[in-house]
Amino acid sequence: MTDKLEKTFAIVPSQCDSTARLGIPNAFSLFMDIATEHADQLGIGLKDLGPQNKFWLTVKSKVHFYDMPALSDVVTLTTWPEKPEGRKCIRDYILKRGDDLLVAGKTEWAVIDTSTGRLVRVDSVYPEGLVLLEDHALNEDFARFEGDISCAEEIGHYCIRSTDIDLGGHMNNVAYIRAFASLFSSKEWDRMAIKDMEVWYRSQSFEGETFRVLKNDIGDAKEVYYLKEDGSVAFQLRYQ
């Protein structure tokens, strides 16, 4: 049973930003796509869990960007799941160009029983015989968000569009990253030169909803909060 999935491919124009390099939202898309493919190979993908009324949820992600590959660069993307802990598990990602490490990330996942709305133990869906590695793409723990937005600056609004909606009927995880990127011009985005990004998905959001987007400066980092119309936080993003 394949405990790791490794794919080699060339960076294509649809994955690039205005600098002709892999865009940050596109890196998140690559991670989501390879995780989905690997889950299917392991027999724990949507087509396998759906009939059991189970569905994978992305809880949070942490990514470090060392150097983004350019258009037509040939890269290798690798992913693997770690040993689950109760109702959560970590999946790791490494993107390389030859021996050069380009991007490293990890995502915390959970499995929800859609018939009860409750999370289930992840090891209850893992296939028998799966060898779980002790390798870690990132050794850093997930950060703690400050949580105090009383002095945060409002930097914009975002209305969820039909193109943001995924097969679950709610806003896709990567769509949040694209929505964040859309708040800045190409020149601003390039000047930000983001090296670390962490995202937490707090609640589901649906087409037609509008977010207020607030930003806090926390030392060298910045925290961004997407607030629903009732004031609740749908999504948090931390970058530097």
Q: What is the structure's pLDDT at 148? A: 77
Asked if 2 and 52 touch (Cβ cutoff 8 Å), the reply is: no
How many Cβ atoms are within 10 Å of 96's Cβ, its own excluded? 18
Please give the Cα distance from 239 to 148 (Å, whole number).
17
Identify whether residues 21 and 113 lie together within a single domain. Answer: yes
Q: What is the structure's pLDDT at 147? A: 64
Question: CA dist 63 to 24, 91, 118, Å?
Answer: 10, 12, 28
Structural domain includes residue 129:
no
Identify whether residues 113 and 157 lie together within a single domain. Answer: no
Please give the Cα distance from 59 to 38 (Å, whole number).
18
| R_g of the chain computed on alpha carbons | 18
> Which CATH number does the domain housing residue 166 bear?
3.10.129.10
Identify whether residues 9 and 117 lie together within a single domain. Answer: yes
Asked if 176 and 235 touch (Cβ cutoff 8 Å), the reply is: yes
Q: Give the HSE-up count for residue 18: Cα atoms under 13 Å, Cβ half-sphere.
A: 10
Please give the Cα distance from 83 to 60 (Å, whole number).
17
One pLDDT digit (tens) per residue for the chain, 240 residues: 568 999 999 999 999 999 999 999 999 999 999 999 999 999 999 899 989 999 899 999 999 999 999 999 999 999 999 999 899 999 999 999 999 999 999 999 999 998 998 999 999 999 888 888 889 999 999 988 876 788 899 999 999 999 999 988 899 999 999 999 999 999 999 999 999 999 999 999 999 999 999 999 988 899 999 999 999 999 999 999
Structural domain includes residue 136:
no
Instruction: Tell me if the pTM is above 0.85.
Output: yes
- Residue 223 is part of which domain span? 153-239
How many Cβ atoms are within 10 Å of 145's Cβ, its own excluded? 19
Structural domain includes residue 143:
no
Query: In total, how many domains does the chain have?
Result: 2
Structural domain includes residue 134:
no
Question: CA dist 235 to 30, 81, 103, 202, Å?
Answer: 20, 24, 22, 5
